[in-house]
Amino acid sequence: MDGRDQRFGDWMDQHLTVLVRISRAFAAPADQPDLLQDLMLAVWKAAPSFRGDSAPATFIHRVAHNRAISWRRRESLRLWRTGVVQAEWARLITPAEDPARTDQLERLYAAIRRLRPLDRSLVVLSLEGMTHRQIGELHGLTEGAVGVRLLRARKALAAAIEEDRDGL
């Protein structure tokens, strides 16, 4: 196993759950395994360009979020061209012991998927515990801009979840 393989293996050991969460935020359940594979491939391909200027986690987040955004655009265009709406057949997550919690998580991720791609990325990074400064550095935004966008995204999420709850 060469150094590239070892580094990639170490990165996946430490950050695979991040890639899973990104795929859940950007793709419908049926498409999540495909996006996860794309994210892993993007990190693999980008690994040689890692110069160590930032933490590996920052590099992986940037590569994965950029790939997820471009995947979402391409996927939306594909669905628009074919006119096909895919049903959500498979679930990537293992059902939790508490069905109510699983339902809450699915509603949250469904609401996150309705956000614009950049807002979706900001919310996922925020949920990962990144600071506004770190998120801003990843996306080329100021801390203030990140804060404002997150505030608006959270309001949109709350409204979408409330709307879903009222619709049940």
> Model confidence over 20-60: pLDDT tens digits?
999 999 998 988 999 999 999 999 999 999 888 888 999 99
Q: Give CB contacts under 8 A, 24+ apart, made by 41-48.
A: 42/66, 42/67, 43/8, 43/11, 43/12, 43/19, 44/8, 47/4, 47/7, 47/8, 47/11, 48/4
SS3 40: helix
Cβ atoms of residues 112 and 124 within 8 Å: yes
pLDDT value for 167: 64
Q: How many CA atoms lie within 13 A of 126 on its CB side?
A: 18
Which tens digits make up the pLDDT trace of 69-107?
A: 998 888 776 665 544 333 333 344 444 456 667 777 888
Report field, pTM of the whole predicted structure over 0.75: no
Q: What is the arithmetic mean of pLDDT over 145-154?
A: 91
Average pLDDT, the chain: 82
- Reply yes or no on domain 93-168 having CATH 1.10.357.10: no
Burial of 141 (0-12, 13-18, 19+ CB in 10 A): middle
The domains of the chain are located at 1-92, 93-168
Classified by CATH at the fold level, domain 1-92 comes out as Rna Polymerase Sigma Factor; Chain: A (1.10.1740)
pLDDT value for 84: 37
Retrieve residue 98's tokens: 């508490």
pLDDT value for 87: 35
The count of other CB atoms within 10 Å of the CB of residue 111 is 20
Q: Read off the pLDDT band of 144 (50, 70, 90).
A: very high
pLDDT value for 80: 55
**Looking at the predicted structure, is the pLDDT value of residue 154 above 80?**
yes
pLDDT value for 102: 74
Better pLDDT: 33 or 6: 33
